[in-house]
Structure 1
Amino acid sequence: MDYLVNINWNKVTPCLVLLVLEVVLEFSDCASPAEVNKHLELGRDFLARGQLSDALTHYHAAVEGDPHNYLTYFKRGTVYYALGKAKFALQDFTKVLELKADFTSARLQRANVYLKLAQYREAQEDYLQVNQADPYNEEAIAQYHKIEQYVEDLQLAEAYYRGGDHRAAADLASRLLEVSPWSAHLRQLRAEAYIALNDLFSAVSDIRSVNRLQQDSTDGYYRLATLLYQLGHVSDALKEIRECLKLDPEHKKCFPFYKKVKKVDKLLLECEELSEARDFTGCLASANKVLKVEDEVTLVVFEARRWLCSCSVKEELYTEALAQCGSALELRRDARLLCDRGDALLGLDMFDDAIHSFKEALELEEGLQRAKDGLSRAQKLQKQSEQRDYYKILGVKRSASKQEIIKAYRKAAQKWHPDNYQGDEKKIAEKKFIDIAAAKEVRHTHTHTHTHIHTDLHSRTHMHARTRRHAHTHGCKRTQVSQHFVSR
């Protein structure tokens, strides 16, 4: 006992005090059985009412109060399972089996989690053990015998994808996801197949699910952001790429992409704000800046050209608007863009083409009121245009002499000959040329006493149709028509 005498009790005593305090605090942290039971009752009540988050809160408290009760873990695991939180459900059911290995219900539930995760071999092993403990468990028996087919289908889907049969891979992955909706691997596989099929909208949905299932994945956020950007959803792409940078501020792919997307998003927002403020010149400037930053991604270019089309129309730059609307529509058919094009055509007095544009908009979006109003306005203006002031078309006064009319006619016909123009400008020239050709009636009916040009409506309609046919034939015929009119 001499060693007890040699102990420095002044040093030992504080250590003993701390140890005792730690033990006391550990016991004081544990809730009483009554408190644990209260949490379990409340958890059960919330669960019965479908208030899963509230139920989970009370089961957390019950587990903390009694960390060695396998039933409490099982109940919390069941709530996790109902919430689709596979990782935590798996942890709780595994903990139950560590505490009580023969608890068949927990093993069956864990097998079901494995099945939903497409971890088929693990599920098969648990179903087998359930069958051994409970030979009459119908659920375990049925699922056990399906596992081999699931394994084969997964291998086949992967083989389809590697072999380039992306449609078959996507279809088979979809079938497996009905059984295993929590499988990040299956969703990633289907997303890649959709991308190969250029079905980016479907791919975005799957990548979002993958990111929820695999949290804190910088690659996942980067992939989602790039897909959204390709779809022209620039603001959404910016949100996702920021999530990547929250995890890794210096990410070698996310950071440079973020800088580009941020700039494009800012410019597109400027287009919208300036348009609403009726600063259409500023809107056009911002849209052109977008094209300097991004000229490759089709649907981002479309967004820029859409604003160039819209703001050009509102600025009454109708010829420029027609070109920009045409460029945008080549990238994507859009009902509102067709309405902008229709307004530009009306500004150029191209009523037939405007009517066609508004009708096409209604085919794309049947209930679009703007298209209905535009069509009605175009038809009304077309009807009004039948009573034309041909003196105005030729740019002469009503008191002009016959020689002045002939001179103005020849000058206008030469200026607006369709062979001198290309693209949308050619359409405008054809329209002008038809009107000028019709204005030859001025020469035949001109008198200084008339204030209006009086011609027989039937003959004018016939003349319009004949002139339109000539103007839309091949180049040499149009030249012949022009020479014929000018020579007269």
Structure 2
Amino acid sequence: MVATDQVARTILTYIPYILVLIDLRYEGVKCDGGSLDNHMEMGKKLLAAGQLADALSHFHAAVDGDPKNYAAYYRRATVFLAMGRSKAALPDLSKVIELKPDFTSARLQRGNLLLKHGRLDEAESDFKKVLKSNPNDKEEKEAHCQLTKSDELQRLVAQARSSFIRQEYSAAASLLDGIVETCVWDVTSREMRAECSIQMGEMGKAIGDLKAASKMKNDNTQAFYKLSTIYYNLGDHEMSLTEVRECLKLDPDHKQCFSHYKQVKKLNKQIRSAEELIREQSYEEAVSKYEAVMKTEPNVQLFSSLAKERICHALARGQQASRAISVCAEVLQADPENVNVLKDRAEAYVQDEQYEEAIKDYETAAKHSQNDRQLKEGLERAQRLLKQSQKKDYYKILGVKRTANKKEILKAYRKLAQQWHPDNFQDPEEKKAAENKFIDIARAKEVLTDPEMRTKFDHGEDPMDPESQQHHGFHRGFHGFQGFNPFGSGPFNFKFNFN
């Protein structure tokens, strides 16, 4: 009993190996007639059901099972065409014609494919052979029609090449439009039309044709190189890098692509680094990095414009108003409707207290970007600050910049408070003037050393103005603004602590 169990276990252990050997034994055996018919029948059913990948598998098996079965090649070609793989269908149709030269449907189908690929002489030969092979009426009519079309296309190709050689790019492009409309997979015509588009400055059309050409022709390094240079000259460093990498995947030693790759990679790295510095609020370093961009690529105007635009932005964000205004103005001279630069210069004008100029920039930008909430808020702020500047400016009272920190504000306050303290004056009128001046100084210090009040003031509201606060719904309970008195109540006794 034990011996029987051991035998059983041994057999079970080796069953998988036995099965593998059986599979290997039959793997090299051709399909017999029944198996071939099954593959053909299943392939046809799956093709009719639209299950193209499964149908293709069966027709692959049928071709492998009988390499001389023209019907299997023809069915597989049909699936390739249904999948949009015309290049794969052509060899199968050629094999069908080799095995069965009188198969007019296959020859007519190959002729049509050759026509779409722009192989006009070969297509013409197929159409002529169809007409000589006693076709049915439908095939004869189609062959005549396609032969006429082939002759017309050959004439157009000759004219297009002649116009191209004479550098008559518009005329050549027009002729090529008619050719490509029929010869949709003709790489040569697409590449020629792309070159016409480049010469006419129509880069979008050139990109479309070159992208198609890069897919239709294997190892088309030149198409990828041209795409990369077009994107580069359009200022799109990211796409330029993507396309030149595709070129180098096909040929790592391609001299043009490798040289261009080094340039694009360096520029791309600098721009990405500069943008990261802006996000980190390292504005001065970002400016330096974009200045390096202009040195790396001084010949492509779009990169210089991009660098100056971003320098304008970084300077405005970095509170360097005067430099920002100058750089932004340079960009706007070439591109007066650039909304981002108008916004940045407006912000710099606000920092420089040139509120009327800021309002003009915001209003100009709003004409080209009507639903920009940031623009609307900026304009309203500039208008409030202009109105405020015509009244009382606490920064000017203390003689400090808008960027002053609390330590600088207190230092200015102490100096002025000592200078204008009413105890320093004996004449009644001078004392009264000093009191008013001192109150303004104290108010300025109160507002600018309180973060909440300073923020309100920087946005155009006066925390010490009851009318303004009533309008904005802002209330505080520390003194009552209208009667603010740094000396307290009762007769003045100016014993003042300046700490």
Give yes or no for TM over 0.5.
yes
Aligned to 1:70: 70
**1:247 maps to 2:258:** no
**Is this contact kept in 1: 2:363–2:379, CA < 8 A?**
no
Corresponding letter in the other structure for 2:347 = D
Deviation per CA, 1:326-377, whole angstroms, max 9, x where unpaired? 44456666544444344334444455554554565566566xx5x3431342
**1:177 maps to 2:180:** yes
Corresponding letter in the other structure for 1:107 = R
Deviation per CA, 1:132-155, whole angstroms, max 9, x where unpaired? 432522332322222222222222
How many Å apart are 1:26 and its aligned residue? Answer: 10
**1:150 maps to 2:153:** yes
**Identical residues among aligned pairs (%):** 32
How many Å apart are 1:294 and its aligned residue? Answer: 1.1
Corresponding letter in the other structure for 1:340 = D
Q: Kindly report the root-mean-square deviation, in angstroms, between the aligned alpha carbons of the 2 structures.
A: 3.3
Aligned to 1:343: 347
**Is this contact kept in 1: 2:52–2:79, CA < 8 A?**
yes
Deviation per CA, 1:115-143, whole angstroms, max 9, x where unpaired? 11122222222222323432522332322
Aligned to 1:378: 379
List aligned pairs for 1:180-195, cutoff 5 A: 180-195=183-198
Structure 2 Cα separation of the partners of residues 343 and 160 of structure 1:
54
Aligned to 1:477: none
How many Å apart are 1:71 and its aligned residue? Answer: 1.5
List aligned pairs for 1:315-394, cutoff 5 A: 315-329=318-332, 334-351=338-355, 353-354=357-358, 357-358=361-362, 361=365, 369=371, 371-382=372-383, 384-389=385-390
How many Å apart are 1:159 and its aligned residue? Answer: 2.2
Alpha-carbon distance change, 37 to 282 in structure 1, aligned in 2, over 3 angstroms: farther
Deviation per CA, 1:459-486, whole angstroms, max 9, x where unpaired? xxxxxxxxxxxxxxxxxxxxxxxxxxxx
Range that drifts further, 61-70 or 44-53: 44-53
**Is this contact kept in 2: 1:111–1:124, CA < 8 A?**
yes
Aligned to 2:233: 230
Deviation per CA, 1:65-110, whole angstroms, max 9, x where unpaired? 2222112211222233334433322211111100111111111111
**Is this contact kept in 2: 1:59–1:76, CA < 8 A?**
yes
Structure 1 Cα separation of the partners of residues 381 and 359 of structure 2:
10
**Is this contact kept in 2: 1:309–1:341, CA < 8 A?**
yes
List aligned pairs for 1:64-143, cutoff 5 A: 64-132=64-132, 133-134=134-135, 136-137=137-138, 138-143=141-146
Corresponding letter in the other structure for 1:385 = L
**Is this contact kept in 2: 1:117–1:182, CA < 8 A?**
yes
Structure 2 Cα separation of the partners of residues 365 and 42 of structure 1:
61
Local SS of the residue matching 2:28:
helix
Number of residue pairs the alignment of both structures matches:
378
Structure 2 Cα separation of the partners of residues 28 and 199 of structure 1:
57
Corresponding letter in the other structure for 1:121 = D
TM-score (norm 1): 0.68
Structure 2 Cα separation of the partners of residues 336 and 42 of structure 1:
63
Aligned to 1:219: 222
Corresponding letter in the other structure for 2:214 = N
Deviation per CA, 1:231-259, whole angstroms, max 9, x where unpaired? 22212222222222233323222222211
Local SS of the residue matching 2:101:
coil
Corresponding letter in the other structure for 1:79 = V
List aligned pairs for 1:454-473, cutoff 5 A: none
List aligned pairs for 1:299-310, cutoff 5 A: 299-310=302-313
Range that drifts further, 104-113 or 317-326: 317-326
Local SS of the residue matching 2:238:
helix
Structure 1 Cα separation of the partners of residues 214 and 386 of structure 2:
59
List aligned pairs for 1:275-294, cutoff 5 A: 275-294=278-297
Deviation per CA, 1:299-331, whole angstroms, max 9, x where unpaired? 233332332222222212233233333444566
Unpaired runs of 5+ residues, structure 1, are 1-23, 399-446, 453-488
How many Å apart are 1:170 and its aligned residue? Answer: 1.8
**Is this contact kept in 1: 2:71–2:96, CA < 8 A?**
yes
**Is this contact kept in 2: 1:222–1:244, CA < 8 A?**
yes
Unpaired runs of 5+ residues, structure 2, are 1-23, 400-432, 441-499
Alpha-carbon distance change, 257 to 141 in structure 1, aligned in 2, over 3 angstroms: same
How many Å apart are 1:211 and its aligned residue? Answer: 1.3
Corresponding letter in the other structure for 2:118 = A
How many Å apart are 1:202 and its aligned residue? Answer: 1.8
TM-score (norm 2): 0.67
Corresponding letter in the other structure for 2:201 = N
Alpha-carbon distance change, 52 to 363 in structure 1, aligned in 2, over 3 angstroms: farther
Structure 2 Cα separation of the partners of residues 134 and 219 of structure 1:
43
Local SS of the residue matching 2:68:
coil
**Is this contact kept in 2: 1:322–1:341, CA < 8 A?**
yes
**Ranges of 4+ aligned residues in structure 1 off by more than 6 Å:** 24-27, 447-452
